[in-house]
Amino acid sequence: MAEDNSYESMLCVKPEVHVYRIPPRASNRGYRAADWKLDEPAWTGRLKITAKGKMAYIKLEDKNTGELFAQAPVEQYPGCVVEAVTDSSRYFVIRIEDGNGRHAFIGLGFADRGDSFDFNVALQDHFKWVKQEGELAKMEATQSAAPKLDLGFKEGQTIKISIGNIKKKDASSTKPRPMAGGLLPPPPGVKAGGVIPPPGSQQADSATFFDYGSPVPETQPSSDVWGDFTSATSNSSKDAAKSGWVQFS
């Protein structure tokens, strides 16, 4: 993505800030605000922090006219352009530039601790955003350089999908199937071809039935169920009377 360097955004504005002349650094321990003449600031005005692309700019302006007093371009934070003092959270040392390659270190102080906190957070947030943008740019460059996976079908290429056999349950499978001739099968326990005897029969019990394919067991002759009809006629023959049958003329 092309970066628009002409757009400048406002990050922070503080109506009052003090500038101090500071002595050279005495040791590697850092700067101390107590070594400055805090009751005699060299300049007092307005502070602005702006951003243009990846760069941040600390601008010191006249609070009435807006005339630029000094400017400090910031490429990274924390860094050598903005450094906190060792004995206070309200004072910093910044490196200003005149645009001609010359630079100087000045002391910067806020009367209110909240203003110094906002100054610090505005710079931190901007360079956190710069870092995230850089990581995203690297990811995009890596993805664009990697070969793309072509998942499209080539000319003449086909795909075969195998689907397993799906057995459909026959809704009529739960119903009893009729036997030959349209008859329903016998109840459980009854052999095929058996006959259920009528109620009260003495020749069948409750659990056993005859099979047409087996021989019928021999039984003793029972009494004649027709009775003796000898009184049916006086002219019946003797043979008919003996057999118990009536001879009709």
CATH topology for the 9-144 domain: PH-domain like (2.30.29)
**For 137-186, how does the pLDDT look when each residue is reduced to its tens digit (9 = 90+)?**
778 777 766 666 666 767 767 777 777 665 555 545 555 555 555 566 66
Phi, psi of 123 (to 5 degrees): -70, -40
Contacts of 62 (CB under 8 A, 6+ apart): 45, 46, 69
Average pLDDT over residues 187-203: 55
pLDDT at 187: 64
Cβ distance 49 to 11 under 8 Å?
A: yes
Tokens of 173: 């499978």
pLDDT at 188: 63
pLDDT at 206: 42
**For 98-117, how does the pLDDT look when each residue is reduced to its tens digit (9 = 90+)?**
888 899 999 999 999 999 99
pLDDT at 7: 85
Q: What percent of the chain has pLDDT over 90?
A: 44
Distance of CA 30 to CAs 73, 78, 104, Å? 21, 14, 16
Average pLDDT over residues 8-15: 95
pLDDT at 207: 43
Tokens of 75: 């490429």
**For 36-90, how does the pLDDT look when each residue is reduced to its tens digit (9 = 90+)?**
999 999 999 999 999 999 999 999 999 999 999 999 999 999 899 999 999 999 9
pTM for the complete prediction? 0.56
**pLDDT exceeds 60 at position 3:** no
**In the chain, where the domains are located:** 9-144
Distance of CA 233 to CAs 56, 230, 237, 246, 249, Å? 146, 7, 9, 8, 10
User: Which of 5, 1, 8 minimizes the C-alpha distance to 136?
Assistant: 1
Q: Which residue is associated with the tokens 């394919």?
A: 213
Phi/psi zone of residue 125: left (φ > 0), alpha (ψ -120 to 50 degrees), beta? alpha
